[in-house]
Structure 1
Amino acid sequence: MSSARELLSDGTARIARVFRNFVGHKASSMRDSAGILDDGADRFDGANRAAVRETGMSGPDNRPTGTGPNLASVPGVDELLRVRTLDNRRLRSDLSGLERRYGPFHLRLTDVSYFGPTSAGGPPVSGFRINGAVVDDAGRQVGRVERHISVKDGRIVVFNAHMRLEEGARGRGFSQAFTASMNDYYRRSGVDRIEIFAVQDGSVAWARAGFDFDRDPDRMKRTISSVREQAVAIRADCSPSDRALLDEVLSRFKGKDGYPTARELVELAGEDPQLGVKLMSGTSWHGVQRLS
């Protein structure tokens, strides 16, 4: 009984650490990647709401399916960022072409809104958010998606803030079709990269989808810390040879070059063929996918 209590206590502490780290990440990413909300209270509340949502974020569906719908009729992101006024009604109309069928489900926009200037004298529009409900043919909501699009250092950046499907809606092709269509749209719009913060099941899925570690020094430091913490957590249950594999891959994080990729880690296999999956499934990490 005491060992069970210790296990529960340890698990609760680990979840709390991930949550605290993520709140810190979101507070900065709301500034860095998604623009600044109207006031300090909104920034604080927004960061915490996002943290709660993100801890359940799932990654893309990797099962084979057809490509998603063509979004050529939707005005490009670059065009939507050049406006001079925060006209959310016009933005909603411009993005209405995203309301399509993706695989077995439909996307219905629920909130589309611009971010204001990030500094005095800055551009009137620094980015915008897209919130959508995923609905089935009966009109029942089975999931949600949220994307933040902004300009950072002169480049257009997308932050995948949220994607969550009910268990029965997963693995049926929605997320792959949606991701394929949106990535084509982003490329046409001149988007430089897509950023994520992966946790739980999303940590494995995003690594398999080709996202790599964000090499921003602060973000990389947090990622490495999480990888090392998870390696310690699973080490006791590993064979001696698998422990040696973990030691070898962790040694590659020393210095500034030669880091393993997220895909390398998730595909790590030894006596336990799921060694890499166990490592990444307990890791929270900052990721990026370059589009340009």
Structure 2
Amino acid sequence: MLSDKNGMFVGTVTNTFYQDSRGRLVVENTGMFLKPKYHRQGFATAFNASMDQYYRRCGVDRVELATGQAGGAVWAKSGYEYITDDPALLAKSRKSIEGRISAIFDKCSPADQAQLTEFRRRFETGNPAEYPSPNELASLTSANPGRREKKTLGEILMNTSEWYGMRVP
């Protein structure tokens, strides 16, 4: 359970610890859920920074996660990259994000469509080194200054995508 500075319940975190095939310690972030009123308040950022210090002291090699139907943009902006050493997970990540690009494409302005087309092209190279990073996608802003969405184009794209990520603490 997570609490704020006053001891009030704000959410839950579930992590699994295991050793990979090379004996390296891995943390799998299997869930972080915050009450909606605590979203966009910096809680997850502060919590993860604190946990990273702990993970480094414990010799954790990396933290992995699978995004769900929410939070993909937050994890991307937190520095998670695609898991590239598992071709099946990388393919699932790519397919999901390409599907999200297709799902929102027709609802975008021509300028936004041009940005999305470039990201799609980079995925189509088949070279993971050329793929747009999760952070790059999540940080995408609308090229249409008249857009009145509360969420950025990148947040709309990444929040409902399902991708597999990892980062070194």
Q: Which one-letter code corresponds to 1:145 in the other structure?
A: V
In the alignment, structure 1 residue 142 sits paired with structure 2 residue 20:
no
The equivalent residue for 2:98 is: 228
Moved over 4 A (4+): 136-140
After TM superposition, the score normalised by the length of structure 1 is 0.50
2:71–2:160 Cα contact (<8 Å) kept: no
Shift of 1:170: 3.5
Shift of 1:137: 6.8
| Higher normalized contact order (CA 8 Å, seq sep 6+, divided by chain length) | 2
The equivalent residue for 1:250 is: 120
The equivalent residue for 1:238 is: 108
The equivalent residue for 1:289 is: 167
Q: Residue 280 of structure 1 aligns to a residue in which SS?
A: helix
CA distance in 1, matches of 2:42, 2:72: 19
Q: Residue 201 of structure 1 aligns to a residue in which SS?
A: coil
Structure number with bigger Rg: 1
Q: Please report the RMSD computed on the Cα atoms of aligned residues, expressed in angstroms.
A: 2.0
Q: Deviations over 1:83-113 (max 9, x none)?
A: xxxxxxxxxxxxxxxxxxxxxxxxxxxxxxx
In the alignment, structure 1 residue 266 sits paired with structure 2 residue 138:
yes
Shift of 1:218: 0.6
In the alignment, structure 1 residue 208 sits paired with structure 2 residue 82:
no
Unaligned runs of 5+ residues in structure 2 are: 146-151
The equivalent residue for 2:149 is: none
The equivalent residue for 1:54 is: none
Q: Deviations over 1:13-39 (max 9, x none)?
A: xxxxxxxxxxxxxxxxxxxxxxxxxxx
Q: Which one-letter code corresponds to 2:29 in the other structure?
A: N
In the alignment, structure 1 residue 192 sits paired with structure 2 residue 32:
no
Q: Which one-letter code corresponds to 1:146 in the other structure?
A: T
Q: Which one-letter code corresponds to 1:168 in the other structure?
A: K
Shift of 1:284: 1.0
The 1:210–1:138 alpha-carbon spacing in structure 2 relative to 1, beyond 3 Å, is closer
